[in-house]
Structure 1
């Protein structure tokens, strides 16, 4: 069953789809047929319904990500017309590789004040749900397991929740010379509280729970994610992260997060 905030957000996102597409395509000096917009709108409505009917803890995508993905129909239409895609910056291209024509909104603010406010309300409800689950213990759920200290290791450790091998390689290349050992956590059940720093990839399905648990355990938490999902970054702050950075900024600042051990 939809919550009130989810229902309002879904309605707002679907309502702005066609006007947003018309503006974005018009800015390229192009046109698409009504059928393409209708297909995208129907897909968006169905996907949002499937996502938002789930409990917060089971929602693996954000509504903004669904909206961004719904623009695949428009991208395909423009490509089929032989329209040359614009040049995109590398960070955006990595975050949204299928958005060839740079149509996706960087945040829900780009969709208008009504959508932004509905998105904020939904995000606040999701954060409140995560906090409530932590306070009640939710002992029946494996996801609510407490953060456990790791086994003894004389070297200072940094933890990473993420599955991207390239990210791991970049972080290890900075951590090792600085005197740290990197512990990679593939899911929230692997979390350890006795690290000097926890790095949380907000693309990970367990990111919200990890930020909340580690922050409550007193661990310093730095969360990072796509700059196009500013709401995920804001949510990480609300859940207790000490620093929240766009991915590109995170990797630039990474050395400063790990002072040399003397």
Structure 2
């Protein structure tokens, strides 16, 4: 059996596991960080929790005879991506990074790009007074000292302190529909959106609503992947790289 380990937790990671689970001769294991108490489990084998850094991940790759490692974590999961690169290098296990394309601005967008949550927190008071934060619960503490802005934070689970003093938490899980996003902006009188460039269609409707309302959008740029990692943009690309499907970019005459 050819063993493929997916560092998952994303929609793309689950889709890849589903595809691989149907392939003969393939054993697929998905590893989830365990930050959500009730994660959506993908097909195949699943493990939950950390490995103990790059060294622990390298030991796991050797012990379980992993043939290929796929980093399908969130584009902002820098620590696990760095550990994956180090573990793959130490074990000579091939590594692919599955990353959905980032969002691209279109006419009507009022985007303000920053490189970190800290920069976003510093700039935010200059753009609005009622902000929708969709940056994840683990980053909320970065906004704890923001003054003069009411923050509406969306999170799958209740965030841990320290929290901003003027905060409303919306417990919800995507994907989010356009009409639902319009209702959120209207009900909470949102005048600025703060988000990370996570890409994908599941959470993109909020950008559409901000465009419709001509609101500023504060976007945190993605961190760069570690050097030497082959990046693919979709599940079809991973399957092609693994020799399990045709590269969608190939133009094969019929």
Q: If the TM-score is normalised by the length of the shorter chain, which range does it land in?
A: 0.3 to 0.5
More strand by share: 2
TM-score (norm 2): 0.33
Higher relative contact order (CA 8 A, sep 6+): 2
